[in-house]
Structure 1
């Protein structure tokens, strides 16, 4: 089959593409790109207005005066420049309701072109979208990325996340759902809000390339190495404030037994090099399930503090822990870290179970086959 994947910001579509190609299919990936610079076959990244210092300053000035973002216009220009390459696909999958990040009028124009010129379109529920943000605002999760916004609405991520609940984004959501055959959630944080939705299909786990993310057996010689990589833009969204307070206590309590590495918004290659040395990785506190960063670390055998709520263990029928459920509570984080430091054999055991879990549930070839079955059946 010819398959078009639209959008990329985590490695999800790149890894799915790798699995689909292994299974003999032709795959094209189009997207805007963020600072992680994932590979794309067709890039609509607004490099003219984002990468040129002078033009970027002009762009910002025009935006302040008119609210028109020239970079969003450039995205649409690059899309339609490549429009002839975007027709005749058997399957299209959008990574999200807002996969290309142009202004909403042009986003609809681009998506409408895709809908009209290809056979079947599916939607992945991955990243902020109208159903998940609406569910958060209704306080149906016991905690979410919007929890910090209740005490401080001015936090950087709040306005960005909340925009998905506005009327214009609701209209985009409805337009996309009308034109997609079905929506496939990528983890429980998106599957739970879609329960009982007529277009929602069962969750398909994110694909992880287990060949690239090799398992490295943990060896604890002297100190237990804890890695905490902070992206400043998502500081409160990921619960880094809880991790930092917990680490202060752990440092004071077990200074001779631990080595703590904290980084802030460093290049991805440096980040990976440092986290490869770690035994324990601190990921996020406000999720029910794991995102890409956590899953790749688990594949390598790290003990990851991330989302692993009861809904997660029930969904996968887990009897033993494959990661640590990181609650947005300093005392809980200190308790969990202390237990691991005092019982290093548990670190080794969880490491092995983490890898086995990824191989069973997230192997990119197995996951690619699941997508193919769903696409053919619906």
Structure 2
């Protein structure tokens, strides 16, 4: 089949492409490379006016003319490549807002996609109306909106998330849902809000290219290395402030046993090797399941503090603290888990092996590709 994958978060779509190509399908990935991460795509639509002085110019233009100049430039690029977006057997959007434009522009771009491709599907991955609304209604025990509810950030700081439930993006959500054949979730954080949704086709675990990620055996004879990768734009959303507080606690108590590596907003090709010497990786707090970064680290045999909630344990029939460490939104509890690992280094070795085996078993990119094909074909 001829398949078009639109948008990219980490390497979800590009890794899916590799799995589909291994099954003899023709695949094109169109996207922005996920911002500063510079992830690989086949057709790169550049993002303009996103950071620094250019973002100030963008705000001024919008304030004066009510025009989002970044969206205009994305639409120009889209129009330049229009002929490449027609006549696919399957199209999948990574998100309701795959082109990262304002809702009016997004609807215009998607109208072309829907008109020229009969089978369009949506992946629930990243913030969208349903997942954000579910969090806003406090149906999760904690969520990416917890820092906002606890007044640790302002509404302005979290506007990039909260806008997903405002009228323009609700209109975009409704438009997308009227035109898609079905929706798939990439992990439990998106699966849970979609349960009982009539267009929901189920969860397909994130595809990981296991062959490219060599497991690194841990040496626990010296200092234990803890890696903390920070995405400055999502500092509070990912719970990096809580990790920082936990690291301060553990450093005060066991500083002689550890080495801490902290990096910020690195491109993917640099990030993926920066944590090679680490035993422990601090990924994110406000999640029930693992995202792409956590899974790639687990594939390398790292002990990852991430989403590993009871719902995830039940779904995969696992026991707590055997594959990944659930990073609760509590610095003291995270510090206690870190201390437990420092004082029981044999557990690091055990979890490291289990993590690699888990990714091999449940996130193999070819198995994921087969599941996507199965779900797409059920609605064609």
- Could you say which TM-score interval applies, normalised by the shorter chain? over 0.9
Describe the shift of the 1:118–1:361 C-alpha distance in structure 2 as closer, same or farther (beyond 3 A).
same
Q: 1:153: how far off?
A: 4.3
Describe the shift of the 1:220–1:180 C-alpha distance in structure 2 as closer, same or farther (beyond 3 A).
same
Cα distance in 1 for residues equivalent to 2:350 and 2:156: 38
Q: Using the TM superposition, name which of 125-134 and 96-105 deviates more.
A: 96-105
Which residue pairs with 1:110 in the alignment? Answer: 109
Q: 1:13: how far off?
A: 0.4
Which residue pairs with 1:346 in the alignment? Answer: 347
Mapping of residues 114-193 of structure 1, within 5 Å? 114-150=113-149, 151-154=151-154, 157-193=157-193
Which residue pairs with 2:310 in the alignment? Answer: 310
Q: 1:267: how far off?
A: 4.1
Describe the shift of the 1:342–1:54 C-alpha distance in structure 2 as closer, same or farther (beyond 3 A).
closer
Cα distance in 1 for residues equivalent to 2:279 and 2:58: 44
Which residue pairs with 1:293 in the alignment? Answer: 293
Which residue pairs with 1:40 in the alignment? Answer: 41
Cα distance in 1 for residues equivalent to 2:340 and 2:54: 53
RMSD: 1.8
Which residue pairs with 1:86 in the alignment? Answer: 85
Q: 1:119: how far off?
A: 2.3
Which residue pairs with 2:232 in the alignment? Answer: 232
Which residue pairs with 1:71 in the alignment? Answer: 70
Q: Using the TM superposition, name which of 97-106 and 155-164 deviates more.
A: 155-164
Describe the shift of the 1:55–1:323 C-alpha distance in structure 2 as closer, same or farther (beyond 3 A).
closer
Cα distance in 2 for residues equivalent to 1:202 and 1:160: 27
Q: 1:56: how far off?
A: 6.7
CA deviations 1:160-186 (Å, max 9, x no partner) are: 100001111111111101111110011
Residues 95, 122 of structure 2: 8 Å contact kept: yes
Describe the shift of the 1:118–1:149 C-alpha distance in structure 2 as closer, same or farther (beyond 3 A).
same
Which residue pairs with 2:361 in the alignment? Answer: 360
Residues 38, 268 of structure 2: 8 Å contact kept: no
Describe the shift of the 1:2–1:58 C-alpha distance in structure 2 as closer, same or farther (beyond 3 A).
same
Cα distance in 2 for residues equivalent to 1:205 and 1:182: 17
Secondary structure of the corresponding residue to residue 318 of structure 1: coil
Residues 213, 300 of structure 2: 8 Å contact kept: yes
Secondary structure of the corresponding residue to residue 272 of structure 2: helix
Q: 1:212: how far off?
A: 0.9
Q: TM-score, normalised by structure 1?
A: 0.95
Q: 1:273: how far off?
A: 2.8
Describe the shift of the 1:267–1:84 C-alpha distance in structure 2 as closer, same or farther (beyond 3 A).
closer
Secondary structure of the corresponding residue to residue 202 of structure 1: strand
Q: 1:54: how far off?
A: 8.8
Describe the shift of the 1:57–1:336 C-alpha distance in structure 2 as closer, same or farther (beyond 3 A).
closer
Describe the shift of the 1:127–1:157 C-alpha distance in structure 2 as closer, same or farther (beyond 3 A).
farther
Residues 36, 266 of structure 2: 8 Å contact kept: no
Describe the shift of the 1:230–1:181 C-alpha distance in structure 2 as closer, same or farther (beyond 3 A).
same
Q: Using the TM superposition, name which of 340-349 and 221-230 deviates more.
A: 221-230
Is 1:8 the equivalent of 2:8?
yes
Cα distance in 1 for residues equivalent to 2:109 and 2:40: 21
Cα distance in 2 for residues equivalent to 1:232 and 1:70: 24
Which residue pairs with 1:19 in the alignment? Answer: 19
Gaps of 5+ in 1: none
Which residue pairs with 2:96 in the alignment? Answer: 97
Cα distance in 2 for residues equivalent to 1:262 and 1:67: 40
Which residue pairs with 1:255 in the alignment? Answer: 255
Describe the shift of the 1:169–1:339 C-alpha distance in structure 2 as closer, same or farther (beyond 3 A).
same
Cα distance in 1 for residues equivalent to 2:240 and 2:55: 31
CA deviations 1:264-322 (Å, max 9, x no partner) are: 33444443332111000001111000111101000100000000000000011113621
Cα distance in 2 for residues equivalent to 1:167 and 1:54: 29
Q: 1:103: how far off?
A: 2.1
Describe the shift of the 1:50–1:227 C-alpha distance in structure 2 as closer, same or farther (beyond 3 A).
closer
